[in-house]
Amino acid sequence: MANKTKKEPSREKKTDEKTIFVGNKPPVSYVLAILTEFNSGSNEVVIKARGRAITTAVDTAEITRNRFVTDAKVNDIKIGTDSINGENGRTINVSFIEIYLTTK
């Protein structure tokens, strides 16, 4: 689950993909953030979520694609496990998802 993309390396400047972190708010809040990102010139947005918010991330991507940016495509989806330091020094494993949405 390396974060390196398979595309040609961008020379010096960062790629213009922007990450939207999805949490406990309703999906529409994040849809709005994605629309803002696309409207400001980005052509790739990464939707990230952990744990229970994974469902919200998928909802967010689907609502964006079906209702607002109909030419947006799901370019890639990654899943993985993050280790978080919990109480009493225990490590908690939590799943995450990354959804790569692109427009042309």
Stretch that binds its own copies, among 13-21, 29-37, 38-46, 90-98 (CB under 8 A): 90-98
92 is an interface residue for its own copies by CB under 8 A: no
26 is an interface residue for its own copies by CB under 8 A: no
Supply the DSSP string of the chain, one letter for each residue: -----SSPPPSSSPP--EEEEE-SS-HHHHHHHHHHHHHTT-SEEEEEEETTHHHHHHHHHHHIIIII-TT-EEEEEEEEEEEEE-GGG-EEEEEEEEEEEE--
75 is an interface residue for its own copies by CB under 8 A: no
72 is an interface residue for its own copies by CB under 8 A: no
Q: Which member of 81, 84, 86, 92 binds its own copies (CB under 8 A)?
A: 81
Q: Which member of 35, 42, 51, 75 binds its own copies (CB under 8 A)?
A: 51
Strands of the sheet with 91-102, listed across from one edge: 18-22, 44-50, 91-102, 73-85
61 is an interface residue for its own copies by CB under 8 A: yes
Residues that bind its own copies (CB under 8 A): 51-52, 54-55, 58-59, 61-62, 66, 74, 77-81, 93, 95, 97, 99
